[in-house]
């Protein structure tokens, strides 16, 4: 049994000077703001499974979880301010535009035309929406408005599992926004399969990593 972990660090975001004029005030090195000055922020890393791939082993996932300590915080806070946080573990890398255009709104369902991530490509996905309400405005604390989870936990023979975090803000009031670190956990068993099964698994993992599933 293996328990693998990856983390995305803290990010401090400022909003002010003009409508939707967001900027990174302080962050871990993995964070980028792909469309300046819009309120979209992206961090990516990956689990390196090359050692298992060299041993010709398949990784069978038994569980996945996202661990974090705090909801986002806003100072000074305004009731009605929103934040969306998307966490994805997948066997396909996701670009900034993939996350913003398709994955964030419609996940891995069949609805979007040219879906960027399919059910099989999604090991685990969690999308949360937060809001500041009148009861928490004084403390600047976002409360959870919705919490949705998707994913297949499908086995993989790929040499990587990609970890992507996206934070989105809309037409919020000026202030400073703090998004706290997160830890991704994957619990899995590495097993040897019969040669034919492994070769088919390897082929399938390569196909899923390269382009959307069209089955």
C-alpha span between 16 and 73 (Å, rounded): 16
pLDDT > 90? residue 205: no
C-alpha span between 10 and 28 (Å, rounded): 6
| Tens digits of residue pLDDT in 106-133 | 677 665 555 677 888 889 999 999 999 9
Q: Which two tokens stand for residue 214?
A: 């069209």
C-alpha span between 12 and 73 (Å, rounded): 10
Domain ranges for the chain: 2-208
pLDDT > 70? residue 144: yes
Confidence of residue 193 (pLDDT cuts 50, 70, 90): low
C-alpha span between 163 and 87 (Å, rounded): 8
CB 141 within 8 A of CB 46: no
pLDDT > 50? residue 163: yes
User: Whats the size of the chain, residue-wise?
Assistant: 215
Higher per-residue confidence, 16 vs 112: 16
Confidence of residue 34 (pLDDT cuts 50, 70, 90): confident
């Amino acid at each position: 049994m293996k328990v693998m972990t990856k983390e995305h660090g803290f990010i401090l975001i400022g909003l002010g000077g003009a409508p939707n004029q967001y900027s990174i005030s302080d962050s871990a090195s993995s964070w980028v703001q792909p469309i300046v000055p819009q309120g979209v922020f992206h961090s990516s890393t990956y689990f390196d499974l090359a050692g298992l791939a060299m041993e010709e082993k398949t990784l069978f996932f038994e569980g996945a979880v996202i661990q974090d300590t705090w909801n986002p915080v806003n100072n000074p806070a305004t009731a009605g301010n929103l934040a969306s946080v998307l966490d994805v573990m997948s066997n396909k890398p996701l670009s900034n535009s993939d996350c913003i255009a398709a994955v964030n709104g419609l996940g891995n369902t069949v609805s979007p035309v040219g879906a960027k991530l399919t059910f099989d490509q999604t090991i685990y996905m969690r999308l949360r929406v937060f809001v500041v309400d009148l009861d928490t405005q004084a403390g600047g604390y976002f409360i959870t408005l919705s919490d949705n989870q998707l994913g297949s936990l499908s086995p993989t023979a790929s040499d990587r599992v990609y970890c992507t975090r996206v934070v989105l803000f809309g037409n919020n009031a000026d202030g400073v926004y703090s998004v706290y670190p997160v830890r991704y956990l994957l619990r899995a068993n590495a097993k040897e399969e019969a040669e034919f099964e492994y070769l088919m698994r390897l082929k399938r993992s390569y196909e899923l990593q390269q382009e959307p599933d069209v089955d």
